[in-house]
């Protein structure tokens, strides 16, 4: 079957359909609750497709994070079929079907781009109308961002349905935008960051038109909502690709607009890649740690360890370095405080042992994390790694007396006997008379 040009916005007359015998997806790989949703929709006469990243990951032999369902049933029709269904969203109406525990299957009705005659006369109402115009599977596929995310798995025929050339791009390990990248990046600038993320996560190459589109539209990402950018940045760390993505973002002119003039250096990108390896080993990433890593190099340039700066100076400078980022992205005071403590701890580690206040510093709750950040930064530097080992030994020594004190205290508490009480003395009768008088 001849494949259409995925850069046009006109759906083809017929898609590429890959029958069950020609692909690797099995129902055994799909979550049982998701299958229940697909089967019930199908039995009631609706189209029921597994959509998006779940299909992509199964075809690549990867374990999907979750499964999403696409259907021609409206949200209200879905709700009538499932007692455990809740409708969410005002701009983009979705059906959430909850099963035991916290498991949730998200069901979206196929949608299409709004045409001029679909829009109300009041422009203020366009925002809510454009996302809730229902359409066909073909039209829904062309609304999606990348070709590899627009593949459908039909539960009725067990086939893969491709309207946009996603199967060819999966085979070529290439990331392409559906439609003109310049137009799609203008519609949603965050797609540029997501393009870099998907390429890094999947090991795909960027299509040249995507690359060119990022160079031309990079400045638009500064217009995205700060809360959304903040969450996307943390997603990079959670997916273990922060180092690679931010390095590429800087080389393509995107990073300075993404984080308001931020410029990383090689030591920072190397540190981020080591943090990604740490996360891949099973250590969860937390925002204060990521934030301290991003601004560590800038902090050290302003507050070098081998200078006359004091710990008080380090506290003040760390706060100043973090303040623009935390203010713009509305980072909570507690997260900002922890990131500052990590930077100050790093400063103290660099100065070496034997200074005033060391015992209290070693007992501070943020010190172990700060030492981990210090060790990751020092990788490859034998002298600095030796210093990190000295501090690690000191940290262990500081913990031992505390453990002993805790044990002794709990032992004393167990061995304590209750105080013996003597016999009660009877009261004398009032008036000094004999008892019973």
Hey, which residues are catalytic here? 66, 68, 145
The residue among 77, 67, 66 whose CA lies nearest residue 41 is 77
Tell me how many degrees the CA angle 155-160-164 measures, rounded to the nearest 5. 130
Torsion over CA: 213, 214, 217, 223 (sign): positive
Question: In Å, what is the CA distance from 158 to each residue of 16, 39, 152, 153?
Answer: 14, 12, 10, 7
CA-CA distance, 355 to 401, in Å (whole number)? 20
The residue among 326, 203, 194 whose CA lies nearest residue 249 is 194
CA-CA distance, 422 to 62, in Å (whole number)? 76
Q: Are 198 and 28 in contact (CB under 8 A)?
A: no
- Residue 177 phi/psi, 5-degree rounding, is -85, 145
Torsion over CA: 59, 60, 61, 65 (sign): negative
């Amino acid at each position: 079957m001849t494949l259409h040009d995925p850069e046009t916005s006109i759906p083809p007359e017929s898609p590429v359909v890959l029958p069950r015998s020609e692909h690797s997806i099995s129902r055994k790989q799909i979550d049982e609750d998701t299958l229940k949703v697909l089967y019930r929709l199908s039995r009631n006469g609706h189209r029921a497709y597994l959509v998006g990243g779940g299909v992509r990951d199964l075809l690549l032999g990867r374990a999907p994070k979750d499964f999403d369902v696409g259907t021609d049933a409206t949200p209200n029709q879905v709700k009538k079929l499932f007692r455990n269904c809740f409708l969410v969203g005002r701009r983009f109406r979705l059906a959430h079907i909850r099963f035991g525990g916290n498991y949730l299957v998200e069901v979206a009705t196929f949608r299409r781009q709004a045409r001029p005659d679909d829009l109300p006369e009041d422009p203020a109402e366009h925002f809510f109308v454009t996302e809730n115009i229902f359409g066909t599977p073909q039209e829904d596929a062309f609304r999606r961002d990348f070709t590899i995310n627009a593949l459908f798995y039909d539960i009725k025929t067990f086939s893969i349905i491709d309207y946009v050339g996603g199967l060819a791009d999966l085979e070529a390990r290439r990331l392409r935008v559906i439609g003109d990248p310049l137009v799609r990046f203008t519609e949603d600038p965050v797609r540029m960051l997501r393009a870099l993320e998907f390429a890094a996560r999947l090991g795909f190459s960027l299509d040249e038109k995507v690359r060119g589109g990022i160079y031309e539209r990079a400045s638009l990402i500064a217009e995205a909502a700060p809360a959304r950018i903040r969450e996307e940045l943390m997603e990079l760390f959670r997916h273990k690709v922060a180092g690679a993505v931010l390095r590429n973002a800087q080389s393509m002119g995107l990073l300075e607009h993404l984080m308001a003039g931020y410029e990383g250096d090689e030591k920072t990108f190397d540190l981020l890649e080591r943090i990604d390896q740490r996360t891949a080993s099973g250590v969860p990433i937390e925002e204060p740690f990521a934030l301290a890593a991003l601004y560590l190099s800038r902090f050290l340039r302003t507050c070098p360890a081998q200078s006359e700066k004091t710990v008080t100076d380090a506290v003040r400078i760390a706060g100043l370095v973090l303040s623009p980022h935390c203010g713009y992205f509305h980072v909570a005071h507690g997260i900002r405080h922890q990131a500052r403590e990590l930077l100050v701890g790093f400063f103290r580690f660099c100065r070496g042992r034997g200074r005033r206040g060391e015992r209290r510093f070693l007992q501070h709750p943020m010190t172990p994390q700060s030492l981990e950040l210090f060790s990751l930064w020092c990788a490859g530097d034998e002298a600095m790694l030796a210093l990190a080992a000295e501090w690690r030994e000191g940290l262990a020594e500081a913990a031992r007396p505390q453990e002993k004190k805790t044990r002794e205290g709990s032992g004393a508490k167990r061995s304590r006997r209750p105080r013996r009480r003597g016999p009660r003395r009877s009261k004398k009768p009032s008036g000094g008379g004999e008892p019973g008088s």
